[in-house]
């Protein structure tokens, strides 16, 4: 299984676990009795699987807040009374913390470790990206780009992903890569840029496309806005 499909499978797994758990939680008692299902036991099993999936596939801070919310929501009354804990403010506070952390990920109000990280050098991701480019799999390319890998890494042949897409005539993928910040003016060991490779391969529309993108990047801010 390739890199992008593996990532997609993880996402689908989490959603399936959540969906099945929601269905079980709302299953009419008559149906459960007819199907001879032990709903409480199954909910416990699927709940543990969801917690494990969140631990494996999400940021630890978000995972921790989610687990605390689950514990708070299911805290036995006698425990909360003995500990002098009011469940309503506890659950409300945890919900607000989760919502706040998710919002902060997008609006970047506070430095919380959720800020964009530097691009990572991921050889496996680059190999998967190059393979997806050669096959014209734009969806897989978009998934790999979203993983924050360094798009300006040269492969064994001395090309970056943008160069490979330009040489292969993949116009949509060229757009994706340039929009994601892939550098247009990098050159192969032979001194050829993505524009040169597109021209050599006869993809003149991509040549013009990259030249326009490079002009916008190189233009002064006022001129680029116009």
pLDDT digits 0-9 by tens, 31-59: 878 888 887 778 777 767 766 666 666 55
Q: Give the confidence band of 165 by pLDDT, cuts at 50, 70, 90.
A: very high
Highest mean pLDDT among 82-86, 127-131, 135-139, 197-201: 197-201
Alpha helices by DSSP H, 26-86: 29-34, 39-57, 60-73, 77-82
| pLDDT value at 5 more than 80 | no
Q: Contact at 8 Å (CB) between 144 and 124?
A: no
Q: Give the confidence band of 116 by pLDDT, cuts at 50, 70, 90.
A: very low
Angle, helices 3-25/138-145, rounded to nearest 10 degrees: 80
Non-local (6+) Cβ contacts of 188 within 8 A are 154, 158, 159, 163, 197
Distance CA 162, CA 149 (A): 13
Distance CA 162, CA 170 (A): 10
| pLDDT value at 222 more than 80 | no
Distance CA 190, CA 159 (A): 10
Predicted TM-score (pTM) of the model is 0.54
Residue 25 dihedral angles phi and psi, to the nearest 5°: -65, -30
Distance CA 54, CA 52 (A): 5
pLDDT recorded at residue 196? 95
Q: Contact at 8 Å (CB) between 93 and 129?
A: no
CA distances from 119 to 40, 51, 68, 115, 194 (A): 44, 28, 31, 12, 21
| Between 221 and 182, residue with greater pLDDT | 182
pLDDT recorded at residue 35? 81
| pLDDT value at 194 more than 90 | yes
Percent of the chain exceeding pLDDT 90 equals 28
| pLDDT value at 146 more than 80 | yes
Q: Using CA of residue 43, residue 48, residue 50, residue 51, what is the dihedral sign?
A: positive
Distance CA 222, CA 225 (A): 5
pLDDT recorded at residue 69? 61
Domain boundaries, the chain: 3-107, 123-221
CATH code for the part of the protein at 123-221: 1.25.40.20
Helix, strand, or coil (residue 120): strand
Helix, strand, or coil (residue 218): helix
């Amino acid at each position: 299984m390739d890199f992008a499909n593996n990532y997609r499978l993880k996402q689908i797994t989490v959603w399936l676990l959540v969906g099945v758990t929601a269905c079980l939680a709302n299953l009419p008692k008559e149906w459960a009795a007819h199907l001879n299902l032990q709903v409480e036991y199954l909910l416990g099993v699927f709940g543990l699987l969801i917690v494990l999936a969140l631990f494996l596939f999400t940021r630890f801070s978000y995972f921790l807040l989610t687990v605390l919310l689950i514990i708070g929501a299911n805290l036995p009354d006698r425990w909360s009374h003995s500990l002098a804990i009011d469940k309503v403010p506890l659950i409300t506070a945890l919900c607000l913390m989760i919502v706040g952390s998710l919002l902060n990920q997008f609006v970047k109000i506070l430095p919380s470790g959720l800020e964009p990280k530097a691009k990572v050098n991921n050889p496996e991701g680059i190999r998967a990206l190059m393979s997806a480019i050669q096959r014209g799999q734009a969806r897989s390319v978009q998934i790999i780009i979203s993983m924050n890998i360094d798009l300006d890494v040269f492969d064994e042949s001395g090309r970056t992903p943008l160069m490979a897409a330009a040489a292969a005539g993949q116009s949509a993928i060229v757009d994706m890569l340039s929009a994601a910040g892939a550098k247009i003016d990098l050159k192969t060991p032979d001194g050829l840029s993505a524009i040169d490779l597109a021209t050599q391969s006869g993809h003149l529309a991509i040549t013009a496309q990259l030249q326009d993108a490079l002009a916008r990047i190189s233009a002064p801010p006022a001129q680029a806005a116009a």
